[in-house]
Structure 1
């Protein structure tokens, strides 16, 4: 209740209304369990992760989504410079084209994580503050738009709608792309498409730039530790990248911007690598995972290839 009163004061909201909304929230033990970190030593596996998303059901649904929303996707690509394939990839990975938008009450999920975030998490303090901020954004958003804060449903982390926007992302990046006077990420695929494109543009998407290039290694020159040190943040020029033993071909050698060595584990099998560009890094701003970014990119591109082959 102290949080509610402080929020109401800072956001100029009715304190009684904020208290009422927070008091009706329920603690959800499942949400706490799902947010707990994976056990230490759990191996990552890009091949297995990829197979969850580049599979027949999602590919068929993605083709239907693209065909049904072709004009909105083309308009978003023209206005924001973000490829239709990337937008289709994001919505496919996030919600299987609206089929799985989440069944947790958003108010319950956010309040649970704002006040009962698992202490076993290495970043518990930071994440607690994040979810308190998201709860604040959520109550402000619903009050401002007239949406019922007790009725909306989303993921166990409080993400909402076809593109799974957190409340802060909804407030900053969601747009009325269908021109009906309101932003609706639950029921308007056009708003979802425009909002995803706007999100990437806001994070610095560069039109026409690839997300990544193939990369091999020169064993004699290879300094993999140095190449991996910046993680996925593009840091190396083509010259410094290749000087440390990375081998590029074709268009990659003419890339004008910085590159990062992106490493993808494959369980016990050899690891996969790509040379990530600034646009690859932009994709990870949607979900801070190189595995997620590659799945989004490859799902959208595979769907596009299937449509073009018809």
Structure 2
């Protein structure tokens, strides 16, 4: 659980323990009507039952058990941008490339070395990347979330914060995730009130959303079922399969470092595609960002900008494999942290220290 969720959970518990005679705090917030009384929910139930061949009464019964989580919309609402919240790569990196996570990563890798090697051989994804993902997501299963997935997904599906700049799109997304979550429970005959996950509805060691689990999770331990909570093998294989399906190229580097030519540098053009690889090494070099060790790179590249708070931004050059990591989480900071954590754990297993990437500033 994140510190914020832990604080919220403590606050809820404290409020629940107040004496019954305590005067309730006045609030102007409208009461949320039961889902069964909402026309939008009933329309969703009818449509989902028809589309997914589910029993509408069963869907109603599951949603009747869903609890609205007021903290979830707050966590999904973007914070106002201030100087103190400006993106800072160094601060972000330090959250993940740190001793506790590295030691846990070494233990996880040692315990599952054969499975990681098999996943790498099967899907072409390095063990270090798989270890990096599971480490960043849950510290190897230590923090998988303690909110009921049914509650988080129903809250986001029907009460997504309208202050969000893409509220309609995101609400539609979570309605699809809720439909898949309940469809999977129906097909498996499982209780949808039991799984726990994050405030966004992701669950398991690798924090898969329901549609990702349906499409890319695999039974990698061969026991006849997929268990992303208790089977490290299933989690490892599923992460590797996800990356293979999203364009991972075996043997391709993840990043290069750029050398800048101030006279040629055209950052405006280089940054238009964002993290999508769009330039050949020759094109990038002609625009003033020379990928030092990547001139022989066989594919396209992207110049990745990393904000540094009040300091000037710095840059790395991302390959298709860097872009593939962002398919797991649309963030260049996330992708670089996953890569660096995996490298740090690999080095620690060998009794050495990895050399941190030093993004370049023009």
Q: 1:56 aligns with which of 86, 95, 99?
A: 99
Answer yes or no: is 1:187 the counterpart of 2:245: no
- The residue correspondences of 1:216-295 to structure 2 (distance < 5 A) are 216-250=259-293, 252-295=294-337
Q: 1:140 aligns with which of 183, 191, 206?
A: 183
Task: Tell me: higher relative CO, structure 1 or 2? Use CA pairs within 8 A at least 6 residues apart.
Answer: 1
> What is the distance in 1 between the residues matched to 2:101 and 2:312?
27
After superposing on structure 2, the runs of 4+ consecutive aligned residues of structure 1 that deviate more than 6 Å are: none
> What is the distance in 2 between the residues matched to 1:253 and 1:308?
30
Q: 1:40 aligns with which of 76, 81, 86?
A: 81
Whether the 8 Å contact between 2:270 and 2:284 is mirrored in structure 1 is yes
CA-to-aligned-CA distance 1:164-196 (integer Å, 9 cap, x gap): 000000000000000000000010000000000
- The residue correspondences of 1:1-310 to structure 2 (distance < 5 A) are 1-41=42-82, 42-250=85-293, 252-309=294-351
> Larger deviation: 264-273 or 228-237?
264-273
By how many angstroms is 1:268 displaced? Answer: 1.4
TM-score (normalizing by structure 1) = 0.98
By how many angstroms is 1:309 displaced? Answer: 2.4
Aligned residue for 2:106, secondary structure, equals: helix
Unmatched 5+ residue regions in structure 2?
1-41, 353-362
> What is the distance in 2 between the residues matched to 1:271 and 1:216?
14
Aligned residue for 1:296, secondary structure, equals: helix
> What is the distance in 1 between the residues matched to 2:49 and 2:171?
19
CA-to-aligned-CA distance 1:129-150 (integer Å, 9 cap, x gap): 0000000010011111222101
> What is the distance in 2 between the residues matched to 1:121 and 1:40?
14
Q: Tell me which structure has the larger Cα radius of gyration.
A: 2
> What is the distance in 2 between the residues matched to 1:147 and 1:81?
33
Aligned residue for 2:295, secondary structure, equals: helix
> What is the distance in 2 between the residues matched to 1:302 and 1:144?
41
RMSD: 0.9
Whether the 8 Å contact between 2:284 and 2:291 is mirrored in structure 1 is no
> What is the distance in 1 between the residues matched to 2:127 and 2:282?
32
Give the length in aligned residue pairs: 309
Unmatched 5+ residue regions in structure 1?
none
> Larger deviation: 121-130 or 265-274?
265-274
Whether the 8 Å contact between 1:102 and 1:156 is mirrored in structure 2 is yes
By how many angstroms is 1:38 displaced? Answer: 2.0
